[in-house]
Structure 1
Amino acid sequence: MRRALVFFIAVSTLLLTSQSCSITLNGASIPPELKTINVEFFENNAPLVVANLSQDFTEALKNRIRSQSRLSIVRDPAANATMSGAIVNYTITPASIEATSPNQAPIANASRLSITVNVKYTNEFDKKLNFEQQFTKYRDFQGDISSQEQGLIQDIVRQLTEDIFNKAFANW
């Protein structure tokens, strides 16, 4: 009987103290009062524009928040938090150069696709968590971009949304 009483008190104490802390899911630390987030459309302001990149990025960010938190995504400026920004750079550059004969120009052996997103996060309950920051990710590839571009974009968008989510909700 005494063991049952001690067990009951221990479990009750654990439950009461955990309710006053932040809710953690998949490494995210989201205060209990934070219930809604407004994720605005991320326009593509990069010099090189790819069709559907804005839509794909915005939806991927929303899906990451939906799948890894309990937050409700709303289209309301009065949401508890807001995430906004723009795609500011989309570039394809040489990643490695192969030397050729002295009479020929060097050629790219591999190329790099880079995407940079500017993100502004506003938390109405804890202003210390607010930030405005650029996130850049890239993938190296060989050969022609046209056959690989959509797959590369998906990989980069996945990495970007993970970094943005972690910055906003995992406090790193």
Structure 2
Amino acid sequence: MKKKLFALILLILIGCKSYTFQNFDIGNAKTIQIDFFRNEAPLVEPQLSQKFTESLQNLFLKQTKLQLTNSNGDLYFSGEITDYRIKPVSGVSNQTAAQNRLIISVNVRFRNKYNSNKNFEKVFSFYSDFDANAQLSGDLQNNLINQINKRITQDILNLSIANDF
């Protein structure tokens, strides 16, 4: 019985080892610079620039061993938020929407000091749907922005340093 319990615990521990992202190609890079992403969207959400910039910084700091720097980073990100809008996505009778969609788009410029073949400029965009009767404010707005930021920042990480994208 003790051997079975020990084997079970061992299997659980082996199966629960922390997942690491080993498929990154950062070359000789040691530092990362992520400039503040200005909000240049026609509809401006005041906190979006700060939230997006912090989301991108936090993702790279959590998933890589790169050190954040304010200047002369080996890997360098800059850009701007180009779109923040709400549009109806599914209709019901009387030409009213059942759901709305929050869409955020970010133009990103990436430069790799050691490998210019990895450089890019690209617009990343994602959305999240919500009930048309809900007011886009407070917790709902924060949750939707966080969901969208998470997806966009992961896409940016994948394109810039992941080998499998």
Distance 2:66 2:126 in 1: 26
CA drift at 1:32: 3.9
Distance 2:66 2:23 in 1: 11
Matched, 1:146 2:133: no
Matched, 1:110 2:99: yes
SS of alignment partner, residue 24 of structure 2: strand
Distance 2:38 2:23 in 1: 26
CA drift at 1:79: 1.7
Alignment of 1:16-95 (within 5 A): 25-76=20-71, 78-95=72-89
SS of alignment partner, residue 155 of structure 2: helix
CA drift at 1:132: 0.3
Compared with structure 1, are the counterparts of its residues 38 and 137 closer, same or farther at alpha carbon in structure 2 (3 Å cutoff)? same
- Give the counterpart of 2:124 among 126, 135, 144: 135
Distance 1:28 1:42 in 2: 27
Report the counterpart of residue 4 of structure 1 in structure 2. none
RMSD: 1.3
CA drift at 1:27: 4.6
Q: How many residues align?
A: 142
Distance 1:45 1:62 in 2: 20
Identity %: 37
SS of alignment partner, residue 41 of structure 2: coil
Compared with structure 1, are the counterparts of its residues 60 and 31 closer, same or farther at alpha carbon in structure 2 (3 Å cutoff)? closer
TM value normalised by structure 1:
0.79
* Residue segments in structure 1 that go unaligned for 5+ positions in a row: 1-24, 101-105
Distance 1:37 1:31 in 2: 10
Larger deviation, residues 137-146 vs 120-129? 137-146
Residues 6-56 of structure 1, C-alpha deviation per residue, up to 9 Å, x if partnerless? xxxxxxxxxxxxxxxxxxx51542334111111000000001111111011
Distance 2:23 2:149 in 1: 19
Report the counterpart of residue 165 of structure 1 in structure 2. 157
TM value normalised by structure 2:
0.82
Report the counterpart of residue 92 of structure 2 in structure 1. 98
* Residue segments in structure 2 that go unaligned for 5+ positions in a row: 1-19
Compared with structure 1, are the counterparts of its residues 150 and 135 closer, same or farther at alpha carbon in structure 2 (3 Å cutoff)? same
CA contact (8 A) 1:48 1:89 kept: yes
* AA matched with 2:50: Q
Larger deviation, residues 162-171 vs 28-37? 28-37
